[in-house]
Amino acid sequence: MMKRLLAIGLILVIGYWLANGLAGVPFGEDRMLVGQYYLDNVKQQTGAINAVTAVVVNYRGFDTLGEVTVLFIASTGVGALLWRRKKERTAEVEGSVVLTTGTKLLVPFVILFGSYIFIHGHLTPGGGFPGGATIATAFLLLYMAFTAYEIPHKGFEKTEGVAGMSYVLVGLIGLAIGGYFLFDWIWQTWKIGTVGELLSGGFIPVIYMLIGIKVGTELSGIIDNMIKEGVSE
């Protein structure tokens, strides 16, 4: 009881302190310094309509590369923590007929929609990470509905590595052509496509396709690792 009261008091003090700090920030005013530059130049500099993905992939591509690395380390870490020689699914009850049939019908559509999200990252909200997470949801559905389902491991883990390497490779091509890492060589040198159409946005769709595939396979791998239990031989 005493502990709880102390914790509530501490949280209230911290909350008051944060609110006091935020009270000095005026809302509803134009406070953009760098933001205005992005909004003014995003179309001719990157060819993308979606300013967020342009900033994330193009202006600040290093952050995205770091995020992809974080996800990769998380996936590898889960794999290392839960490593056992022999692991099997231990689920006992198969999903009901309604669930399995529904899953069978829905999974292709979920994968299609995930691909739609990451292919259109430069035009509509979304991008590689939400698209990849949607694809992983499809595999989670399969794991939940069927007791015996397993992702094709060999293909999945290789695809993941190849996608991650291709991202760095695209950046290195930029380094060779433009002089710095993650230089947008497709848009800056060739200007392919008109702004607002699918075939535009420089290397944003390319990179987002790679990230989508990578995130999708990675999260599926994490699900696979966590859902299995060790079997004593």
Partner 1 sequence: MNAFAITGEILVLIGTFFYMLSALGLIRMPDVYNRMQTSTKSATLGSLGVMIGVGIWALGTDFGSVAWFTKTLVIAIFLLLTNPISAHALIRAAYRNGIPLWEGSVVDRYREHMEAKKEEGDEE
The least CB distance from residue 224 to partner 1, in Å, is 21
Q: DSSP state, 95?
A: P
Q: Which is nearer to partner 1, 107 or 151 (CB)?
A: 107
Angle at 103 between CA 101 and CA 104, to 5 degrees: 65
> Do the beta carbons of residue 205 and residue 192 sit within 8 Å?
no
Nearer to partner 1 (CB atom), residue 16 or residue 116: 116
Task: Tell me whether residue 68 or residue 119 sits nearer to partner 1 (CB atom).
Answer: 119
Least gap, CB of 50 to partner 1 (angstroms): 17
State which residue, 122 or 214, has the beta carbon closest to partner 1: 122
Q: How far is the CB of 93 from partner 1 (least distance, A)?
A: 7
What's the closest the beta carbon of residue 97 comes to partner 1, in angstroms?
10
User: Residue 143 in contact with residue 223, Cβ under 8 Å?
Assistant: yes
- Closest contact distance (angstroms) between CB of 99 and partner 1 is 5
Identity of the residue, 78 or 106, whose beta carbon is nearer to partner 1 in the bound complex: 106
Binding site for partner 1 (CB under 8 A): 93, 95-96, 98-99, 102, 105-106, 109
Strand partners, 230: 87
Question: For the residues of 5-72, what is the DSSP string, one character each?
Answer: HHHHHHHHHHHHHHHHHHHTSPSSS---SHHHHHHHHHHHHH--S-HHHIIIIIITHHHHHHHHHHHH
Nearest to 186 by CA among 197, 202, 206: 202
Q: What are the E-state strand segments in the chain?
A: 87-89, 228-230
